[in-house]
Structure 1
Amino acid sequence: MELFICSLLQFLKLQWKSRGFPPGPTLFPIIGSIWWINFRADHGSLKKLAKTFGNICTLWLGHRPMVVLYGFQAVKDGLTINSEDVSGRLQTYVFNRMANGKGILVSNGLIGKHQRCFGIGTLRKLGMGNKRVERGIQTEASYLVEFFRDQDGRAVDHSFPTVHAVSNVICAVVFGHRFSLEDATFRQLIEAYNCIVAFGNSYLYYMCEIFPWAAEHLLGPAQKASFSCDFVHSFIKQEIKSHSERCIMDEPEDFIDCYLDQIEKTKNILNSTFDEDNMVQSVFDLFLGGSESTATTLRWALLHMVAYPDIQEKVQKELDAVLSPSHLICYEDRKKLPYTNAVIHEIMRFSSIILITIPREAVKDTTVIFGHELKGTIIMANIDSTLFDPEYWETPHQFNPAPFLDKNGNFVTQEAFLAFSAGHRMCLGEVLAKMELFIIFCSLLQTFKFTAPEGVKEVNTDFIFGSTMKPHPYKLCAVLR
């Protein structure tokens, strides 16, 4: 009886606590209301949640409120009105285990502000968005073209060579060198990142946040993800050691050089946030952000060209009409290739690889979103829902580049295209990602026609749910044009 009374009192206390928050499922002691989406924030469950409780609703992660934003207007307003007020990162068991409040991606306060500002400034200094990085992308595109050429039209799974090409772009910026396709350590590095990404947004991720002791003692995948983080950190520390021994401070060549220089410059400044721990985590964050998402989008891009041969043909006709066969693709060419640019943006929209943003947190005591007072609340924006919002897209569930073209065939942007998020925490690598997608995609389609292997009658364009929405493993044939 006492247990029943205690449980009832706790239940009533939680109902009282939920007053003033947007509506949501009934919450229970310990598990909160995350049970309602079966511990899995996927397409169907979030759509059902919005349909039942509205585009702004509340889930409870244990005893912590999490406001979920669904649809373009809710996501845009929620992330851009009082943007700085909702720019905090949630400090949870998993995030602390991964980053311990360091680096760029999940840090807060002065650390977050200093590391992000330094990261953006240094990437610009090192050429992000200009000719220096463009030449690196062109080099990696040529290696990927050679990979497909060597297959001589045979069916091949191109996932690792594509990850390799994209990752080497950020490797050159961060480490100052690229890795060969046969490098065993690099392959281990990619596998470690894949393990970390696969763990995120899974049932086990939510279970670890609610029951941290389970992650420490019972859950094998959680421990494997933890070991993968440790491996990546060790790899980065070894790179830093090599840079320190090389000692090039006057003319820094890459991000690590610049960071070592910054540590030296700020060593006598009280409460400086520039130290080796923040450097290791910043490199970890840049590599993760600069490889996984763009490589996955390129895999979707080629899959859609196989699935929609008519669109592939139109892209190639435009490339042939505008560029000579020997022309080295550059980012500036996008202005002369509106249809191709539209197709690339439609790939990013239709096969959105990020379902939800990394959770943000209201950093002020009170933040008002749509009339609701939110105190220290988690904000989870469903980015995917903005890209399929029927109020802003005529055919949201069809692959259709037309919304990115005006009546004269010129490329136009769409306000509901929030593939890189919005507000203070939007993706800092947007320009780099768009450059890579355009240059590599055009280089490949200029050279090859992509088809399904012989005997494959239907192309599977369903996604595998995870931190990034990946296509199912597939093979294709690259036939020289």
Structure 2
Amino acid sequence: MDLFLFFSSLLQRFTFSSPVGVEPKLDFKLGGDLHHIDHSKVHLQFAEFAEKYGKIFSLRIFGPRIVVLDGYKLVKEVYTQQGDNLADRPTLPLFDDITGDKGLIISSGYKWKHQRRFALSTLRNFGLGKKSLEPSINLECCFMNEAISNEQGRPFDPRLLLNNAVSNVICVLVFGNRFEYSDNDFQSMLKNINEAIYLEGGIWAQLYNMFPWLMRRLPGPHKKIFALWKEVIGFVKEKVNAHKADYDPSNPRGYIDCFLAEMEKLEDDTASGFDVENLCFCTLDLFIAGTETTSTTLYWGLLYMMKYPEIQAKVQEEIDRVLGGSRQPSLSDKDNMPYTNAVIHEIQRIGNIVPLNLARVTVEDTQIGKYSIPKGTMVTGNLTSVLFDESEWETPHSFNPDHFLDAEGSFRRRDAFLPFSLGKRVCLGEQLARMELFLFFSSLLQRFTFSSPVGVEPKLDFKLGATLCPHPYELCAVPR
């Protein structure tokens, strides 16, 4: 139906003809390799392409040609040894029209280096990666558990609640305050972000990147991506303006206040990106880095606990032995809870939240293996091929916490565990995500046993957008 509307819109608006003297031919070139791709499972097809064409292959699905790296050893070698040559992001029409060279995720070069360094140092000052942030996370665990208790064991979809809880932690760092779960504007913003991220991984977004000159003029689902981000940015701008009105440089409440102070210091260095518009996009990127992947991982985690109740019971047994029934989990407990830690890591591995990684672009002509990759070429290390690498994982396609346990039952690190990617563009929110996943997951399983509604079999089906997440589901949370 979508393709019908797209084709109809084309013929409604335009008459197409060959240039004078040129005979039209039926060779397929315009769409690149798009006709070979099933966008609902493209990350799985990349594995098939690697088997057929080798560990380094290229194709065109996003407009320009993209080089794909397959397998842990190759991805690690390229991202670590060629890190400086792969530090920039590609310029794709869709994202360029939404953000331009702004924010922390899409920007490149001088501006990106300044902004990433500033964001990391500022957030660390407010507790990122430090034990001082733990009380904020534990407080949010209490609010979340109370909201779940209010469901009284009835079936409900936990997705939005998880988003609210996880997002509030980054809100404390960015705004200096959290939002109530009853705040409709905040919930609307989170819904809009989820929907926009899903749509950005779909066929209409790819058509936009391939034919921007045409798609900018045509109606269709791609227009909704712009409308959603416009609403989200509007919400962020309101908060930024509120901070501008009453901020005190000597007593910053969070990242926004610190950014405003930095704007005054570097007002002559316009290239570094310290302006209000970039502040809004940087704030938005912190939301995405600090919310989307962590809440989606927890969403997968609860689904896997329902699917494998024996593993859930074993986690709860360890929690009860170490924490008891009332003391809240602490990061200091992690070393004494190897099985729980292993389950969390296995959820991250098999959940595979960012299956294709975020593409990078070569800063200069680069040699990868026997291939010379020209400057400006998109390159991505396929994280699916890393997290499911059969030469690195004993049972890569099974949910198996033993991947992260040694023979004595102690937790063991795995080199091929790279859900946050690696190199110059390693995920900005990695430290925060690790803290949140342990504390939120342990707190949830300490308080509740999760099961499917009566007569419903939990399914591990996924939907693929810019991230990989479960199809919406309901669960019953029974207090322990």
The TM-score, its normalising length taken from structure 2, stands at 0.92
- Distance of 2:110 and 2:352 partners within structure 1: 32
Given residue 371 of structure 1, which amino acid in structure 2 is its aligned partner?
A: K
State the partner residue of 2:475.
476
Q: Distance in 2 between matches of 1:424 and 1:109?
A: 12
Deviations 1:214-267 (A, max 9, x none): 432324221111011111222111111111111211121101001001101112
**Structure 2 partner of 1:19:** none
Residue of structure 2 equivalent to 1:459: 458
CA distance in 2, matches of 1:125, 1:162: 26
SS of aligned partner of 1:67: strand
How far is 1:185 from its partner?
A: 0.8
1:163-312 correspondence runs (5 A): 163-269=163-269, 271-312=271-312
Pair 1:111 & 2:111 matched: yes
Deviation (angstroms), 1:139: 1.0
Provide Cα deviations, 1:15-49, integer angstroms capped at 9, x if missing partner.
Answer: xxxxxxxxxxxxx5432233332566623321221
Amino acid at match of 2:279: M
Q: Check the 8 A contact 1:40/1:203 in 2, yes or no.
A: no
State the shift of 1:296 in Å.
Answer: 0.8
For the Cα contact (< 8 Å) 1:29–1:63, is it kept in 2? no
Q: Which deviations, in whole Å up to 9, do the C-alpha atoms of 1:162-207 show, x marking residues without a partner?
A: 1110111111111111111111111221122022111122111111
SS of match in other structure, 1:423: coil
Listed as ranges, the gaps of 5+ residues in structure 2 are: 1-17
For residue 160 of structure 1, what is the amino acid of its counterpart?
Answer: L
1:433 maps to what in 2?
Answer: 433
The separation in 2 between residues aligned to 1:214 and 1:112, in whole angstroms, is: 30
SS at match of 2:68: strand
Residue-by-residue CA offset, 1:288-346 (whole Å, 9 max, x unaligned): 11111111111111111111011011111111111132212112211110010000000
Q: In structure 1, what is the equivalent of residue 330 of structure 2? A: 330
- 3-state SS of 1:454 partner: coil
1:412 aligns to what? 412
Which blocks of at least 5 consecutive residues in structure 1 are unaligned?
12-27
Superimposed CA distance per residue, residues 365-417 of structure 1 (whole angstroms, 9 cap, x where no aligned partner)? x1111121111210022112211111111111111010101111111111111
Structure 2 counterpart of 1:331, one-letter code: L
Give the letter for the 1:382 counterpart: N
> 1:371 aligns to what?
370
Cα gap change, 1:405 to 1:6, in 2 (>3 Å): farther
CA shift in 2, pair 1:240/1:63, >3 Å: closer
- Residues of 2 paired with 1:45 and 1:439: CA distance? 35
* Range with bigger deviation, 177-186 or 68-77: 68-77
How large is the Cα RMSD of the aligned pairs? 2.0
Q: Distance in 2 between matches of 1:294 and 1:414?
A: 20
Q: Following the alignment from structure 1 to structure 2, what is the Cα–Cα distance between the partners of residues 287 and 71?
A: 30
Q: 1:245 corresponds to which letter in structure 2?
A: A
| Aligned residue type for 1:313 | A
The alignment partner of 2:458 has SS state of coil
The one-letter code matched in structure 1 to 2:58 is T
1:478 aligns to what SS in structure 2? strand
Q: 1:442 to 1:208 in 2, by over 3 A?
A: same
| 8 Å contact kept, 2:43–2:356 | no
Indicate if the aligned counterparts of 2:297 and 2:348 stay in contact, CA closer than 8 A: yes
Amino acid in the other structure paired with 1:477: C
1:93 and 2:117 correspond: no
Determine the C-alpha separation between the residues in 1 that align with 2:446 and 2:39. Answer: 44
The one-letter code sitting in structure 1 at the alignment partner of 2:471 is H
Q: How does 1:383-422 map to 2 (within 5 A)?
A: 383-422=383-422
> Would you say the 8 A contact 1:58–1:65 is kept in 2?
yes
Matching residue of 1:123 = 123
Would the aligned equivalents of 2:460 and 2:470 in 1 still touch at CA under 8 Å? yes
SS at match of 1:220: coil
Shift of 1:273: 2.5
Contact 2:80 2:423 in 1 (8 A): yes
Equivalenced residue count is: 462
Give TM-score scaled by structure 1 length.
Answer: 0.92
CA distance in 1, matches of 2:285, 2:317: 39
For the residues of structure 2 that align with 1:190 and 1:202, how far apart are their CA atoms?
19
How far 1:2 sits from its partner (Å)?
8.6
Question: Is contact 2:166–2:436 with CA below 8 Å preserved after alignment?
Answer: yes
Say if 2:63 and 2:210, in contact at 8 Å, map to a contact too: no
Q: Percent identity?
A: 39
